[in-house]
Structure 1
Amino acid sequence: MADILTPALGESVTEATIAKWTKKVGEAVKKDEILVELETDKVSLEVVAPADGVLAAINAAEGDTVVPGTVLGAVTEGAAGASAPAAEVAPATAPAAAAAASTDGAVVDVAVPTMGESVAEGSVGTWLKQSGDTVAKDELLVEIETDKVAVEVSAPEAGVLTINVQAGEAVTPGQVIAQISASGAAAPAAAPKAAAPAAAPAASGAHLSPSVQRVVSENNLNPSSIAASGPKGNITKADAIAAIGAAAAAPAAAAPAAPRALGDREERVKMTRLRQTIARRLKESQNTAAQLTTFNEVDMTNVMALRAQYKDQFEKSHGVKLGFMSFFTKAVVAALKEIPAVNAEIDGTDIIYKNRYDIAVAVGTDKGLVVPVLRDADTLSLAGIEKGIGALGKAARDGTLTMDQMQNGTFTITNGGTYGSLMSTPILNAPQSGILGMHNIVQRPMAINGEVKIRPMMYLALSYDHRIVDGKEAVTFLVRIKQLLEDPQRALLDL
C-alpha cells in the first residue's frame, strides 16, 4: 500500500484545497499519473500516483482543506490489486490536527499547526466560538496570525469547546490552545452569538481560507454577497478581491472587534504582526549598523525628455509604460559594479561581497511597507525592469508575495517622491549596506553656465553602513548615479 501525500506547497504556503480527483476508488492507476489537483491562494499543484496499482482510498474529498504531509489517499500496488476500503487509511486531518482520534467520551486537543518555514510563533486571533459552545467537525474556530501568514484552526471533532488560550496571546506550533469534549452525538454548529466578537460572517456552508478571510475582514465584505467560484461553493481569494468596491458595508455585527476607547480623542489598537515586524526590523537596523546619509541632487531634464520622446513607442513595443524606476535601477547597478562595498554585507568579522545585483524595491501597501526583490537586475532591459517591478508591486498590493520574493536582496531603492517627499534619510534594509532614496521632482532655479534656468530637480539620499562603506565611496557612488541620470545614454551604452 502506497500513501498519496500532500506535497510541500511552497514557502509561506501552509494549506491547500482539494480541487479535483481524476480517478475513483477501485480504478487502476499508473505510476506518475495525475490523481488529484490542489489549489492554494498562489498556485495550483498536481499530485501523481506513487506506484502502479489500484486507487484504494480517497481520504480528502473535493473542497476539503489539507496541509503538507496529509495522506490524501492510498494506492494498492500491483495492477491486479484489490481496492481497499477507505476506512483502512486514516482520514486526512484538518489544519489543527488533534493529537489522537476521537472516541465517545474522549477529549481531543486543538493544537497550533505548523505555521510555515522560519515561523516560530504567532498570536491567537478572535475566537469564533466561546467555551461551552457546541462545535461541528471541521468548523472554523480561530485564526493564528503571524508576521507572514494567517493560519486557520478548525475543530478536529464535533463536541463541546473549552478554550485554553485567549485572543492576543502568543503561541507556538504544536501548542494546545483548546480542547473538545467529543462525548455524545455531534450537534449542528450553533450560529455565532450576536455579542461574540467575530470577523466577517461566513456564508452558509462556505469555507473561508485564511487569505480569503483576510480580504473579507479588512474590506468589511459580506461573504453571503460574494459570488463563489471555488469547489463546493467555496469563495476563492479572486472572488473576494473582485467583490471589493462593489460590496456594501458589512453589518456592524460582522465587523472586527472595536478598539478600546481611551477618552473622546484616543483609541488603542493592537499592532498587526506585519507592523510589529516592520518596527522590530527597522529598530534592529538602527541599533546594528553605523548608519550615515549623504545627499546629492540630479537634474532630471534629459531623462524626462528621453521618456517623453519614446514613451508611446516603448509602451506599444513592450506592453508596459516607461517610468523612472528603470533608469534609476540601471544607474544603481552600474554604480554598484564600480563601488562593490555598497553591494556587500557584514557577517560577523567577515565582509561578503556579492557579484549579483538583486535590487529590492520598497512598496507601500495598506498593511505596511514591503520590499520585494527584482532578481538579476543587471541582466534586464529597461522593459524587463519595468515589467518586473510592476509585477512585484501588484503582488504586494494583492497580498500574494511569497517569502522568496522578499528575501536576499543586495541593495534597496525607495521612492518617497511618489507621496510628495522632498528629502528623507531612509533606514537600511538589514543586512544590506546601502539604500537609495528617490524624492519628488521639483522645478527649481539652477545656475547653468552662468545663467539661471528652471530645471526639474530631484534630491537623492544614500544611507549606508559606515562600518563597511567609507564616506568617499558613498559620495562617489551617489555622484556616479547623478552622472548616469543626467546623461542617460551613458547607462544605455554601458559607459
Structure 2
Amino acid sequence: MQVEIKVPQLSESVSEATLLSWHKQVGETAAEGENLIDVETDKVVLELPAVQSGVLVQILKQAGELVVSGEVIGLLDTTAQATAAPQAGTAAEPVLSPSPRKLAHEAGVDVANVTGSGRGGRITREDVQAVIEQKAAPVAPVPQAAVGGRIEQRVPMTRIRQRIAERLLQSQANAAILTTFNEVNMQPVIDLRNRYKDAFEKKHGIKLGFTSFFVKAAVLALQKFPVVNASVDGTDIVYHGYYDIGVAIGSERGLVVPIIRDADKLSYADIEKQVADFGARAKEGKLTLEELSGGTFSISNGGVFGSMLSTPIINPPQSAILGIHATKDRPVAENGQVVIRPMNYLAVSYDHRIIDGREAVQFLGTIKEALEFPGRALLDL
C-alpha cells in the first residue's frame, strides 16, 4: 500500500516552507518514526518522520522547493522491498541532529563526506564546522566574483533571515517607535540570588538566573500599565488580559523569540526552566511553531553579548519591548557619596501611537523599582 508523505500542518502565520535535503533516496527503506526530510519555515526547522515503515518509491518535491501545509511531497510503499540498500562495506546514512544538518545544508557540505566524532559516529556541529573551514581555506564554498582583484560572495538568505528582515522593516514602517532609558542598581537582585541560589537549585533542579527577575518585574509593570501590554488592530486598541512574554534567544539560524505563556502565574523556577529549555532546543532547531507564535510583550538581553546600550525594535503586533544590557560596576552618586554599584542600562522601545511618553517612563521606572527592591515584589507591596 502506498502512503502519501505530506508537509505537516503549518501555523496560520506561516504560509509556506522550504524543503531541505532528503535523508532517504528512492528505493531505500524508512522505519516508522525515522526522519525523511527536514522542512524549514521562517521560524523553525521541522522533522517529517515516516508515519509507517516502508520503501520510498517516489519523490515529488526536491530539496530547495517551496511547499505548503498538507502538500504531498513523496510516496512511501509499506509493502515494497528496498532496492537501494547500502552495499556490503558501504556506510549507512550519517547520523546527525537537525542543528548540524542545517549548518551543512546552508554551507553546501555533503554530510556523506563528514566523519562523525560523536558517540556511535554521530556527526556534531564541530565536525561540520571543521569541514566548512577546510573548504573555505583554499576555495570559497559559494560563488565568487572578482572585480579588480577584490573578492565578493553572494549567499542567499535563509528563510528565517528573510522573515527577520521582513518583520523588522514592518515594525519600523508601521509603528511610531520611540525608546526611553533608565538605569538600575542590580546589587539587591545579585545579593538575593547569591543568598538563595544553592537552596533554589537543590529544591527546583535549575539554576537561579537573572531572567526570571526581569520577567517578573516586567509582568508587574505590565499589570500597572495595561496599554504597554496591548496591541493595535486598525483603529482599535486590543488590551490583553494575559501576559505572554517573548524572550529573545540568539541561535545559529538567527534570532528566535519563544513565548512564556501566562508568565504572571508562573514561579521563578517555572520561568527559569522554560528559558533553559527554550535555549537548549533553539540550538537544535527544535522549537515548535506554537512556541514561537503570539506574545504580548518581549524581552531582549543584549547584555549576554556584552552590549552596553541599544534601542530594541518592537516585535509586531506587540507595542513594546524591554532591552536589557550588560551589568557593569560604575561610580554612582548615592546619598551624597560616590560609590561603586553594578549598574544595568534598561531600554524600553514603544509604539508612540498608543503609549505616551509618561506611561513609558513610568513603566520603566516600575521595572527599576521592582529590581532594586525585589522584596516588595515578592511580598506584593
The one of 214, 221, 227 equivalent to 2:102 is: 214
Question: What is the alpha-carbon distance in structure 2 between the residues aligned to residue 138 and residue 187 of structure 1?
Answer: 6
Partner-residue secondary structure (3-state), 1:453: strand
Residue 288 in 1 paired to residue 174 in 2?
Answer: yes
- Aligned-pair Cα RMSD in Å: 4.1
Question: What is the alpha-carbon distance in structure 2 between the residues aligned to residue 289 and residue 459 of structure 1?
Answer: 24
How many aligned residue pairs are there?
353
| Contact kept in structure 1, 2:21 and 2:105, CA below 8 Å | no
Change (3 A) 1:171 1:392: closer
Give the corresponding residue for 1:149: 45
Partner-residue secondary structure (3-state), 2:172: helix
Give the corresponding residue for 1:116: 10
Task: Give 1:138 shift.
Answer: 7.2
| Contact kept in structure 2, 1:301 and 1:456, CA below 8 Å | yes
| Contact kept in structure 2, 1:138 and 1:157, CA below 8 Å | no
Instruction: Point out which structure has higher relative CO (alpha carbons under 8 A, 6+ apart).
Output: 2
The one-letter code sitting in structure 1 at the alignment partner of 2:142 is P
Give the corresponding residue for 2:78: none
Task: Give 1:461 shift.
Answer: 0.2
| Contact kept in structure 2, 1:359 and 1:411, CA below 8 Å | yes
Q: What aligned pairs does 1:253-268 form with structure 2 within 5 A after superposition?
A: 258-263=141-146, 264-268=150-154
Partner-residue secondary structure (3-state), 2:279: helix
Task: Give 1:212 shift.
Answer: 7.7
| Contact kept in structure 2, 1:135 and 1:190, CA below 8 Å | no
Change (3 A) 1:203 1:412: farther
Change (3 A) 1:174 1:207: farther
Give the corresponding residue for 1:91: 2
Task: Give 1:371 shift.
Answer: 0.3
Question: What is the alpha-carbon distance in structure 2 between the residues aligned to residue 306 and residue 436 of structure 1?
Answer: 22
Over residues 170-225 of structure 1, what are the superposed CA-to-partner deviations in whole Å (9 max), with x where a residue is unaligned? 565688999xxxxxxx996599xxxxxxxxxx953679897784366469655885
Q: What aligned pairs does 1:61-210 form with structure 2 within 5 A after superposition?
A: 90-95=1-6, 113=7, 116-118=10-12, 119-123=14-18, 136=27, 145-147=40-42, 148-149=44-45, 157=57, 170=66, 203-204=91-92
Give the corresponding residue for 1:487: 373
Give the corresponding residue for 1:41: none
Task: Give 1:258 shift.
Answer: 2.2
Task: Give 1:250 shift.
Answer: 4.7
Residue 453 in 1 paired to residue 339 in 2?
Answer: yes
Give the corresponding residue for 1:317: 203
Question: What is the alpha-carbon distance in structure 2 between the residues aligned to residue 374 and residue 175 of structure 1?
Answer: 31
Task: Give 1:484 shift.
Answer: 1.1
Over residues 376-403 of structure 1, what are the superposed CA-to-partner deviations in whole Å (9 max), with x where a residue is unaligned? 1111222222112111211212211101
Task: Give 1:260 shift.
Answer: 1.0
Task: Give 1:284 shift.
Answer: 0.7
The one-letter code sitting in structure 1 at the alignment partner of 2:326 is N
Task: Give 1:94 shift.
Answer: 3.9
Which consecutive unaligned segments of at least 5 residues does structure 1 have? Answer: 1-89, 96-112, 179-185, 192-201, 230-234
Residue 377 in 1 paired to residue 263 in 2?
Answer: yes
| Contact kept in structure 2, 1:125 and 1:167, CA below 8 Å | yes
Task: Give 1:270 shift.
Answer: 1.0
| Contact kept in structure 2, 1:331 and 1:485, CA below 8 Å | yes
Change (3 A) 1:166 1:214: closer
| Contact kept in structure 1, 2:115 and 2:127, CA below 8 Å | no
- Report which of the two has the higher share of helix: 2
Give the corresponding residue for 1:330: 216
Change (3 A) 1:296 1:173: closer
Task: Give 1:120 shift.
Answer: 2.8
| Contact kept in structure 1, 2:19 and 2:39, CA below 8 Å | yes
Question: What is the alpha-carbon distance in structure 1 between the residues aligned to residue 252 and residue 270 of structure 2?
Answer: 27
Question: What is the alpha-carbon distance in structure 1 between the residues aligned to residue 314 and residue 129 of structure 2?
Answer: 41
Question: What is the alpha-carbon distance in structure 2 between the residues aligned to residue 367 and residue 482 of structure 1?
Answer: 33
| Contact kept in structure 2, 1:422 and 1:459, CA below 8 Å | yes
Over residues 285-309 of structure 1, what are the superposed CA-to-partner deviations in whole Å (9 max), with x where a residue is unaligned? 1111111100011111211122122
Highest Rg: 1 or 2?
1
The one of 240, 249, 256 equivalent to 1:363 is: 249
Change (3 A) 1:468 1:189: same
Over residues 324-376 of structure 1, what are the superposed CA-to-partner deviations in whole Å (9 max), with x where a residue is unaligned? 11111111111100000000111112211111111110001111100001111
Give the corresponding residue for 1:477: 363
Question: What is the alpha-carbon distance in structure 1 between the residues aligned to residue 161 and residue 68 of structure 2?
Answer: 20
Change (3 A) 1:316 1:426: same
Identity of paired residues, percent? 49
Partner-residue secondary structure (3-state), 1:360: strand
Task: Give 1:439 shift.
Answer: 0.5
Question: What is the alpha-carbon distance in structure 2 between the residues aligned to residue 223 and residue 415 of structure 1?
Answer: 38
Which consecutive unaligned segments of at least 5 residues does structure 2 have? Answer: 75-80
| Contact kept in structure 2, 1:93 and 1:156, CA below 8 Å | no
| Contact kept in structure 2, 1:414 and 1:435, CA below 8 Å | yes
Partner-residue secondary structure (3-state), 1:283: helix
